[in-house]
Amino acid sequence: MLQRTKPRISERERQEIIRGMGCTVPNCWRTDIDLHHVRTAANSGIGMKPDDSFLVAVCRHHHRVGHQIGWKSFEKRYGVDLARTARRNAQIDRPMP
């Protein structure tokens, strides 16, 4: 069984670091950053909310667009892979190998 190491930083600090990265959409200049929980087959289902470790930063405008057109269409439109970004962001509080 894998043991998770204790995070080096708090969840709130990690979220602020992710917000500080700016919008995930390339060349977006907006600074009103929201955190979006990325859903995958592994972390979603009826009544399930994705874990807080699976977050990406998107500005309020792009967050609205994602909900309006759907996140798969959003990824195609802007050329981003939200799951890959969220996996990378989930490692922020982990000790470096």
Rounded percentage of the chain residues whose pLDDT exceeds 70: 74
pTM over 0.75: yes
pLDDT in tens, 8-25: 788 888 899 999 999 999
Domain locations in the chain?
11-90
Q: Which pLDDT band holds residue 54 (cuts at 50, 70, 90)?
A: confident
The long-range contacts involving 38-45, CB below 8 angstroms and separated by at least 24 positions, are 38/71, 38/82, 38/83, 38/85, 38/86, 39/71, 40/83
Place of tokens 């992710």: 18
Q: Is the pLDDT of residue 1 over 70?
A: no
Confidence (pLDDT) at 3: 56
